[in-house]
Amino acid sequence: MEIQLQQFINQHVKVVEPLMKQVNLSYWKATISGKEEDYQHYADLSLKLRQVYSNRQEFEQLKKFKASGQIHEPLLRRQLTILYNSYLENQIDPELIKAMVQKSTAVESKFNTFRGKIGTKEVTNNQILQILRTEKNSQERKAAWEASKQIGPVVTPELLELVKLRNQAARSLGFDNFYVMSLTLAEQDEDELVTIFQQLEDLTNEPFRRLKAELDSVLAKRYGIQPEEMRPWHYEDPFFQEAPKIGQINLDRYFKNKDIVELARLYYRGIDLPADDILEHSDLFEKPGKDQHAYCTDIDRLGDVRILANIR
């Protein structure tokens, strides 16, 4: 039985390896260009990939492998689990798969290409962050912060439609909803996950309150307001993921007028981890239509690693 499973895996890899590379390349291109046709190409290829995993005959083979109790080699057992879960998620109505792929891509395309406005002026995320780092006027800060949230109403209708489609798919497979299905197929226990985060909150809530009170006191003085008047736009990160700079140390001055990419290249060479190939294939500077966030990806799982960033 293990020989048959290995043969199944070998054949599967022959099919999905080139297709996954095409999907990754199309996503890379779309997130750089922001063009509708590039996102559609990505959606078309993503659908092809999901159709591979929707093959019912192959899923039946995997069910037999799983039920046999004859797969003992650890790596094979692990691959079987991953394959089984990947196929299970796609054992749904083909039209529903197509609808989810199209809707998901549409939402992501809008999210990635959107630019907020302050008044009538379109602004980039970098410009918003610059205002939140340097502006002292509360109204100017509020306008910038609100610009960072304008994407909400733009994607909400289609996002809610996507939620309904995903829940419909999950229920057709016997799960309560998409959230439960995602956790289950990722081999995570919902109760354990909730317990971990509850423990984290219990351990950090009071220290966080004390630290934030100190932070608010310093920032309130900076903006000429009382601590109780602090609002989300008085922090430097629109999502409060990074703490505001309240100390006197300014590391930015060491990098002013420097070639950041070349500094990165030299640093990694210096620790014997040359990143020349990565930097060569990456897209590091902001441009119109480009995804304004950042990510690192391995296009082919064979070393074609790339970084998308938005250096000003």
Tokens read off for 221: 């003085």
Q: pTM (2 decimals)?
A: 0.93
Q: Which residues, 6 or more positions from 126, have their beta carbon under 8 angstroms from its beta carbon?
A: 286, 292, 310, 312
Residue 121 predicted with pLDDT over 90? yes
Please state, in angstroms and as integers, the Cα–Cα distance from residue 230 to each residue in 210, 211, 213, 223, 263, following that order: 15, 15, 11, 9, 38
Render pLDDT for 122-170 as a digit per residue (tens, 0 to 9): 999 999 999 999 999 999 999 999 999 999 999 999 999 999 999 999 9
Render pLDDT for 206-264 as a digit per residue (tens, 0 to 9): 999 999 999 999 999 999 999 999 999 999 999 999 888 888 888 888 998 999 999 99
Within the chain, what is the greatest distance between any pair of CA atoms? 73
Looking only at the bridges linking them, the beta strands covering 305-311 and 283-285 are: parallel
Per-residue pLDDT at 247: 82
d(CA 290, CA 267): 27
Other Cβ atoms closer than 10 A to 5: 23
d(CA 169, CA 92): 6
Work out the mean pLDDT of the chain and round it to a whole number: 96
**pLDDT band of 203, cuts 50, 70, 90:** very high
Q: How many CA atoms lie within 13 A of 299 on its CB side?
A: 17
Residue 43 predicted with pLDDT over 90? yes
